[in-house]
Amino acid sequence: MKRKITFLLAIVAANIAIAQTGKVFITNEGSFSGTGAVTVYDRATGTPTQNAYQAANSGFTLGSILQSVNVYNGKAYFVVNNGSKVEVADASTLVSTGTINGLSSPRYFVPASPTKAYVSDWVSNTVAVVNLANNTISSTIAVGNSPEHMVITNGKLYVANSGAFSIDNTVSVIDISLDVVIATITLDDAPTSLQVDMNGDVWVLCAGDPAFTGGTPTAGSLNKIDPSTDAVTLTMPFASTAKHPGDLVINATGTALFYLDQGYGGNVFVHDIATSVIDSSSAFISGAYYEIGLDPVTDEIFAADAKDFSQNGDVTRYDALTGASIATFGVGVIPGGFYFSGSPSIGTEELTNAMEVKTYPNPATDYVMVEVEARGAKTVQLFDMNGAVVNTTTINSNTLKMDVSGLAKGTYVLSITTEFNQYNQQIIIR
């Protein structure tokens, strides 16, 4: 009993509120022979700050091809693809705090817990397991060809194996408690990006084979996976083999998906998760956008225009409900990644109530519905009374249906972590 009480006290003590920045991080890849750069966009003033990382580190540059960025536990993780590393910095100041080396061609960083994260590594066809305590790679997991985006839900990491310039058509499923592949899901050619919706289902966008190396092009598709069984419950093919969609994002409520009809240069289309047919008749936003991101704080789409890939690009903000243009601002060379900070700056007193959580039913038998009134990505974890994690899901939406049907009866602790807050609640399963 003493161990159980100690665990409960420790996890409740983690309810700490930290002042939020209200910033958006934008990664600019830079030219292949140049260096990537970070633009920081201030929501409150509507102004961008260019070369923010370089300015915070006495002119030190990140390196070639800044692929993506993620923020977790007060630290920013900048994934430098051609530099074969992840640079770690304080999320508030951007001052460097370390480097994760030993990677070949890293693409994306996904945190799993305060001590562990995963990095997809394009060339080595692996996912690196990172020890966040000392920024080292503790192991690697072999997956399919050229792993790209990843998401965590239901205690599993889903990895899109894109095939890059060869071909692949699979999603690797990794048990994050064991760090082993437990399933391989076959879809259409070139799975590239994934999202988790309000129901906890995993959506995967397949680009199709553009036949860069010869052969016959294939069409892309949008797919839905049930994470409780890893069965593909819906496949919606695109009609054309001439375009290859990419860059799947989801709105704050987890009900609408947005994507480019042509990866690295397309129009923005929208798909309601309640429908089972793709509507490609008209674009939601017309353009030739290199990448898109969705700000869950303002419910706005950030669309990046890389222009001619040599001059500085720009980003246009659009209303995610209407598609109306809001404003455009300048960024660096080849803008390609976004991270949206939890919420605009607010006072400490107001912040203590910034995350409102509703869970039901409690006690539960088959599932627990979790409704979180908080901005940005949320990591939802369920702990048993010995402190072991029995379920982990990361969502960008505000609603999650967590499957608990396979768990033993008893008392558990539900923990919800955002970029700056943590909430804990006792859950009874019977």
Contact 390, 403 (CB under 8 A): no
Q: Is the four-CA dihedral 263, 268, 273, 276 of positive or negative sign?
A: negative
Q: Collapsing DSSP states into helix, strand and coil, what is residue 54?
A: helix
- Tokens describing residue 385: 């009374």
Residue-level pLDDT at 396: 77
- Tokens describing residue 252: 């704050």
Residue 82 DSSP class: T
Q: How many CA atoms lie within 13 A of 398 on its CB side?
A: 16
Instruction: Judge residue 288's burial from the number of C-beta atoms within 10 Å of its C-beta, 0-12 exposed, 13-18 middle, 19 or more buried.
Output: middle
CA distance 176 to 57: 34
Report CA 5 to chain centroid distance, whole Å: 34
CA distance 329 to 335: 12
CA distance 254 to 228: 18
Cβ-Cβ contacts under 8 Å for 324 (sequence gap 6 or more)? 318
Rg (CA), the chain: 21
CA distance 236 to 277: 6
What strands, in cross-sheet order, belong to the sheet with 170-175? 147-153, 156-161, 170-175, 180-186
The residue type at 183? A
Among candidate residues 309, 194, 324, the one with its CA nearest the CA of residue 259: 194
Q: With a cut of 70, list the residues of the chain below it in pLDDT.
A: 1-21, 213, 342-355, 375-376, 419-420
* Pairing verdict, β 23-28 and 37-42: antiparallel
CA distance 132 to 110: 11
Q: Collapsing DSSP states into helix, strand and coil, what is residue 322?
A: coil
Residue-level pLDDT at 418: 77
Give the CA-trace dihedral at 241, 151, 174, 208, to 10 degrees: 0
Q: Is the four-CA dihedral 43, 59, 114, 79 of positive or negative sign?
A: positive
Strand intervals (E) in 134-212: 136-142, 147-153, 156-161, 170-175, 180-186, 191-196, 202-206
Residue-level pLDDT at 100: 98
Domain extents in the chain: 2-11+345-429, 22-340
Phi, psi (rounded to 5 degrees) for 5: -65, -40
CA distance 397 to 380: 12
Pick the CATH number of 2-11+345-429 from 1.10.10.10, 3.40.630.30, 2.60.40.3080, 3.40.1210.10: 2.60.40.3080
Phi, psi (rounded to 5 degrees) for 104: -95, -60
Residue-level pLDDT at 375: 64
Residue with tokens 């070139």: 190
Q: Collapsing DSSP states into helix, strand and coil, what is residue 361?
A: coil
pLDDT, tens digit, for every residue of 203-228?
A: 999 999 988 767 789 999 999 999 99
pLDDT, tens digit, for every residue of 282-323?
A: 999 999 999 999 998 888 999 999 999 999 999 999 999 999
Would you state the CATH architecture of domain 22-340? 7 Propeller (2.130)
Cβ-Cβ contacts under 8 Å for 214 (sequence gap 6 or more)? none
Residue-level pLDDT at 333: 97
Residue-level pLDDT at 10: 43
The residue type at 60? F
Residue 356 pairs in a beta bridge with 373
Does the bond joining 335 to the residue before it have cis omega, within 30 degrees of 0? no
Report CA 41 to chain centroid distance, whole Å: 19
